[in-house]
Each structure stands twice: as structure tokens, then as C-alpha cells.
Amino acid sequence: MTSFSFDKLVIFGVGLIGGSLARALRERAGAARVGRIVGVSRSRASAERARELGVVDEVAALDDDGELRAALAGADLVLLAAPVAQTLPLLRRIAQFLGTDTIVTDAGSTKSDVVAAARAALAERAAQFVPGHPIAGRESSGVEAALPDLYVGRNVVLCPLPENRAQDVARIEALWRVTGAIVSTMTHEQHDRVFASVSHLPHLLSFALVECILNAPDAALKFSFAAGGFRDFTRIAASSPEMWRDVCLANRHALVDELDCYVTVLARLRAAIVAEDGAALEAVFARSREARTQWQERGGQAAAPAGLAPK
Amino acid sequence: MTSFSFDKLVIFGVGLIGGSLARALRERAGAARVGRIVGVSRSRASAERARELGVVDEVAALDDDGELRAALAGADLVLLAAPVAQTLPLLRRIAQFLGTDTIVTDAGSTKSDVVAAARAALAERAAQFVPGHPIAGRESSGVEAALPDLYVGRNVVLCPLPENRAQDVARIEALWRVTGAIVSTMTHEQHDRVFASVSHLPHLLSFALVECILNAPDAALKFSFAAGGFRDFTRIAASSPEMWRDVCLANRHALVDELDCYVTVLARLRAAIVAEDGAALEAVFARSREARTQWQERGGQAAAPAGLAPK
């Protein structure tokens, strides 16, 4: 395992994700390996809250050229942990102040759009940008919810660019490994297909079920008899509409592919129901149950398959 | 509230549902109002287990004419609590031994097929049959899992037939109310639409997502990064394949209608994604989130709407 240390880490957006990384590094890396942590936000006030809580050492406002230049001067690492739709404007904003030795990474839940943003904003300096995605629960938000243990046992996916330097990628891997995360690498296309399938599509389907019931003339009656199955299935329909709008648009190509695949499966099941083909239905249900049960028994996530094993 | 008592209750299928009713009546109705409870099952051995546990007083085997006649002689009430696909053969089997003063009810999770079975097996004596559906969790099964409090605060839906006597319906309502359940009535068509929408469709959709991932060439990779959203959405995909095959077939007309409505919503969302219409997506997501949040805040089930209020 690579030893990991830094002199200066700059975090853009000190909320649950960025704040938890800062707290994890302080508590888990050992004081000798942790330098200054600077929090940058749109307004100085919200970064100040992170300093009051001891999550960051210094703060800077994004719209102040002097503060931003000072924040980025001599930075080893930059983490973008603002909403993913802000990636392009953020990268455009910091490009002019970015040192040639600074490695930039992000925490966005889609990656192809982030890679496109990095190439657009940084051009040939996109080589300094290592795209990343920590997969961590987000029921709560804000720096007050930040936890030093948020990433323990969680997956972090890196999607290195061909032009990234191997040592920079290794450094970002080491950064996340200090937090207790399991780090994997894949291409940004693979990443977006995987998360379209196991995360973005289920959210869309869950929102769609509630919408479907709302559109029914007997909606009130239906909601009044909804029980445990509905509760579990629609828990994610209480997620942030803004965030999921952005995710659906950012990952629209992979999401539409997965949705089309899903609708094909529904058409097959519909045909089996209409034909009263109980054997076909039972075969699908039994296969699904077995796969779901095995997934659960592996602790809710499988070992990464060969070739993508955590390093 | 109607006072409730009985001299003899016969339960066909003494598992979680039938066993919990028996235990609830004993513990909640007061000894003076509870007569004998007879458990009938396919084999005498499995009913014997219920007697050993003190859930029923007597047992009878379904395939023994003498035992079945004795069990049904002088019965006030009969509850069918076997898998819903067995309703028709069960009713055919007991029809010849059924007294003219005995009220029969059931616990099946679909109702139009049960009504058709009652008319086919009982002909004009279907007037003695009051269709019912207690909505209770079924993660565990068998008489060992039976609980006296299983029905407290749970919905029980009755779907009376036009030819039922009002006093018989009132007696079945009183039976369930003793268990602590909230009793509502609706037509069997309404029932099947409601549960197609809030229960049967979500199960189908959940099985379908796992099937869709299993069909993908990168299935292993996808499962290995599935997290909390996938977990909640697919919890019901670990349900019994046989039971859900039977439910999908028994309620196929309402289920196909709901599925078609759902696929229409998916097509609308797909169009918004392709058109990059963030406002349309956000509007649907926000409306769904609000409805889901309100549902949760009402304790997971709304008050029954006017005209369907629990009596």
C-alpha cells in the first residue's frame, strides 16, 4: 500500500462528501502525514461553518480571485465535491490558478460528463485530472453530517484518463484508501453503464411508480393501502429531485440504454402474464430471487470481478 | 362495535396467517367469547404441529371425509388461509360438508379470482362466502411464526358479494376487528386494481430489474457496485417465486393494465431525458417525492378516503 501524505489539500464544496474526507484524513492518516486543508465554497460563510467545526483549517470564497489564487498556490491535491452539474464552471474557474504539480480529482456520481468537462475546461492539462466517485450514502447532507468513518468499507471508483500519470492515479488511490474505502478502477464508460443500471435506473423506476399512482383516478385509495413492498420499492423516490434530474441528464446515454433493456424485460414478462405462462414467470422470479439473495449474502456487494479487483 | 363470539371456527391452512388469527382471537377476544378452533391441513401431521403449539384445539385431515365432515359440522365460521391458488379445489372439497349457517371467508391476496372460484364451487351458496384480504407481512411463514399481534394496526379489506347477508359481513368485520386490524370494504374489482398498483406491480418491477442486470454481459461488475438504492428497490425480489407467479396470474387483468400505465410513464420520462428536458424530469421527481414523503408522514398508509372509511 502506498504511503500517503500531503502538505495542502483544497476541497471545493465542504458538505457531507468533502467534509467526511477531511475528517477521515485527520483521524486516520496520522498528524505527520496531514498538512493544511482548505475549504472553498461559493460564499465564505458556508466554508466558515466547516472551519468552526474543525473540519478545515482555512477557507476561501470562490468568487474572490485573491483568495482563490492563495488557496490553490502550492496545493498537492484538489477535490471537487460540489454538485456534479457545477463541475464544468468550477474547473473553468480554477484553471487559471492551478499549479502544474497539483492533482485534481472529483466525487461526482457520473463520469463521462465530468471527463468531457475536464477536457473542455483544462484542455491538455486534463492530464492532471483523475476522475473519481466515492459511493457513500447521502440521506443527510451538509458539513454537520460529515463523518470520519463515512467511507469505511465503501466503494470508491476511479476512472483514470489515458493521459493521467500513473503516480498521480496511485496518489488518489492512496488518498481514498486512507479513509477505509475499497478502491477500484474502470473506464468512465464502464462506470456510467454500471451506475445507470444499479443506481440511476432504480431511482427513475421508483419515481415513475409514484407518478403512475398519482395519475390514477383512484390514487388516494391506492396510497391508503400501500404497505411494505411499496415502502421499500419507493424509498429512493424521496431523493432530491434536483440531484436526480442532473444525474439523469448527465448520464442520459447509458441510462436510456438501460431503460430500453428494462422495458424489453417488462414486455417479455407482460407476454408471459397474458399467455398465462406460469412456468416462464416462475423461472424469471426464481432466477432473480437467487441472484438477489446471493448478493445479500455477499454482504450487499460482490467481490470485484477479475481484472477489476481492488488494488 | 359489534360484539363478537363463536362456538366453532375452522381454519384451512394453519400457517402464519391462519395461526395468527387463532392466537389473536384467544388472546384478545376473552375466553367467554372464543369456542373451539379446528385446524385443517392437507396432512394431519402439519395441523398436529399447530395443536402442539396450542394454536388450535383440534385437527382434521383434508383428505379424510369423516374428519372433514366432523370438522365442519356446527361451524360458525370457516377461514381459508391456504395459498390462493388452492381456493377453488378447497371450496369444491368442502362444499358437500358445509352447513347452511356457516359463514366462509378467505385471506387470499387477490379477489376477483377468489370470487370466481366461490361462484364456481358453491353456486347459489356463494352467498355464504365473504371474500377477505388481511394485509400482513410475510417475511416468515409457518405456524411457528404466528403472532397474536400480527394484525394490530394492519389493513384488512373485505369485498362483500351483492348476495352476502349484511349480518354475515358484519360478523367477519367483527372477527378481524378483534385482532386489532383496520377493516375496510370495497368491490373485488377495486381491490384488485389497488393491489395490482401498490403491491403486485412493484414486485414484478423489482424482479425485472434483477433479471435485466442478469442478462447484461457485465452482470458481475454491476452487482459488485450495487449499493443502497438497489438494496431497497430489490428487497421484494427475494420474495417467493411460486407465490408471485400465482398472484401475477390470478390478478393478470388488473396487473397488465397497471403495467401498461407504468410503461407509458417510462416512455414519457425517456422522452424528457432524450430531449434533455430537465424541467419536466424535475417536475415528476418533485411530485413523486412529495407524495412519497406525505405517505411516509401519515405513518405509511393514508386514512381511507371518504366512502371507504373503516367502519
Residue A33's pLDDT is 87
B205 and A233 in contact by Cβ < 8 A?
yes
Rounded to whole angstroms, the Cα distance separating B272 from B284 reads 10
Asked whether residue B122 is assigned to any structural domain, the reply reads: yes
**What is the rounded average pLDDT of the residues B112-140?**
92
Of A138, A161, A186, the residue at which a domain comes to its end is A186
Q: How far does the CA of residue A194 sit from the closest CA of chain B (Å)?
A: 5
First-last CA distance in chain B: 9
Residue B74's CB is within 10 A of a number of other CB atoms, namely: 14
A221 near B CB under 8 A: yes
Contact list, A245 vs chain B (CB under 8 Å): 278, 281-282, 285
HSE at residue A121, side-chain half, CA atoms within 13 A, is 22
Q: What is the pLDDT of residues A148-180, one digit of tens each?
A: 999 999 999 999 999 999 999 999 999 999 999
| Sequential DSSP letters for chain A | -----EEEEEEES-SHHHHHHHHHHHHHS-GGGEEEEEEEESSHHHHHHHHHTTS-SEEEETT-HHHHHHHHTT-SEEEE-S-GGGHHHHHHHHHTT--TT-EEEE--S--HHHHHHHHHHHGGGGGGEE-EEE----SS-SGGG--TTTTTT-EEEE---TTS-HHHHHHHHHHHHHTT-EEEE--HHHHHHHHIIIIIHHHHHHHHHHHHHHTSTTHHHHHHT--HHHHHHTGGGGS-HHHHHHHHHHTHHHHHHHHHHHHHHHHHHHHHHHTT-HHHHHHHHHHHHHHHHHHHHTTSSPPPPTTS---
CA distance A259 to chain B (A): 8
For residues A165 and A227, membership in a common domain is answered with no
ipTM exceeding 0.95, yes/no: no
User: Is the same domain home to A142 and A287?
Assistant: no
The model's confidence at residue B232, banded by pLDDT at 50, 70 and 90, is: very high
B290 touches chain A (CB under 8 A): no
Average pLDDT over residues A232-258: 94
Q: Say whether both B157 and B199 belong to one domain.
A: no
Q: What is the reported pLDDT for B305?
A: 40
Does A182 lie in the same domain as A208? no
Question: Residue B310 has what pLDDT?
Answer: 36
Tell me, yes or no, if A153 comes closer than 8 A to chain B by beta carbon: no
Domain stop point among A141, A167, A186: A186
Q: Is residue A308 part of a domain?
A: no
- Taking only residues 70 to 109 of chain B, the set having a beta carbon closer than 8 angstroms to any beta carbon of chain A reads none
Say yes or no: B57 and B105 in one domain.
Answer: yes
pLDDT-derived band at B182, boundaries 50, 70, 90: very high
Q: Is residue B241 part of a domain?
A: yes
Question: CATH number for the domain including B177?
Answer: 3.40.50.720
Continuous segment of H or E residues that includes residue B24: helix B16-28
Q: Same structural domain for residues A180 and A207? A: no
Residue A303 sits at the chain B interface (C-beta within 8 Å): yes
Is the CB of A301 less than 8 angstroms away from the CB of B262?
A: no
Of A238, A262, A304, the CB nearest to B289: A238
Q: What is the pLDDT of residue B228?
A: 86
Contact list in B for residue A304 (CB cut-off 8 A) is 221, 224
Cα gap B109→B114, rounded to integer Å: 9
CB-based contact (8 Å) between B165 and chain A? no
CA torsion angle for B211, B214, B220, B226 (degrees, to 10)? -10
Q: Do B288 and A210 touch (CB under 8 A)?
A: yes
Domain membership flag for residue A1: no
Rounded to whole angstroms, how far apart are CA atoms B112 and A237? 31
pTM above 0.95, yes or no: no
> Which residues constitute the domain of residue A117?
6-186
Give the span between the Cα atoms of B130 and B80, in whole angstroms.
11
Contact A62, A11 (CB under 8 A): no
Calculate mean pLDDT across residues A87-111. 96
- A221 and B289 within 8 Å at the Cβ level: the answer is no
β-pairing verdict for A129-130 and A103-106: parallel
Q: Does residue A304 surpass a pLDDT of 50?
A: no
Q: How confident is the model at residue B272 (pLDDT cuts 50, 70, 90)?
A: very high
Name the closest residue on chain B to residue A139, using Cα atoms: B228
Domain of B246, CATH number, reads: 1.10.3660.10
Q: Do A180 and A197 lie in a common domain?
A: no
Min CA distance, B176 vs chain A (Å)?
17
Confidence of residue B141 (pLDDT cuts 50, 70, 90): confident
With beta carbons less than 8 A apart as the criterion, state whether A40 and A62 touch: yes
Query: Do B239 and B158 fall within a single domain?
Result: no
Asked if A208 lies within 8 A of B237 by C-beta distance, the reply is: no
A215 and A151 part of one domain: no
| pLDDT given at position B301 | 56
Task: State how many domains chain B has.
Answer: 2
Q: Is residue B35 domain-shared with residue B155, that is, in the same domain?
A: yes
**Residue A310 domain-assigned (yes or no):** no
